[in-house]
């Protein structure tokens, strides 16, 4: 059975070496193994949620 379709769009982001290093350090501190894209998604969603945006992913 295929996973459900999601309303997503790929985004290419270039990061400065210091930012990438900090991201990798943050990933290393997590209790679970996360990929860079997953950590970026989590950080972005947390930031948007803190600013009052509704970032729930509703799958119908």
> What are the tens digits of pLDDT across the range 20-35?
999 999 999 999 999 9
What are the φ/ψ torsions at residue 32 (nearest 5 degrees)? -115, 155
- Looking at residue 3, its pLDDT comes to 66
| pLDDT band (50, 70, 90) for residue 2 | low
The per-residue DSSP string of 2-60 comes to PPPP-----------HHHHHHHHHHHHHSSS---HHHHHHHHHHHHHHHTT--------
Which residue, 28, 26, 32, 20, is CA-closest to 46?
A: 26
Four-residue CA torsion sign, 58, 27, 36, 50: positive
Q: What's the token pair of residue 54?
A: 């509704």
> What are the tens digits of pLDDT across the range 43-59?
999 999 999 999 998 76
């Amino acid at each position: 059975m295929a996973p459900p379709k999601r309303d997503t769009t790929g985004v290419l982001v270039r990061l400065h070496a210091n930012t990438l290093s900090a991201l990798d350090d943050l990933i290393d501190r997590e209790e679970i193994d996360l990929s860079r894209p997953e950590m970026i998604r989590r950080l972005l969603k947390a930031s948007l949620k803190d600013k009052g945006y509704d970032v729930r992913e509703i799958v119908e």
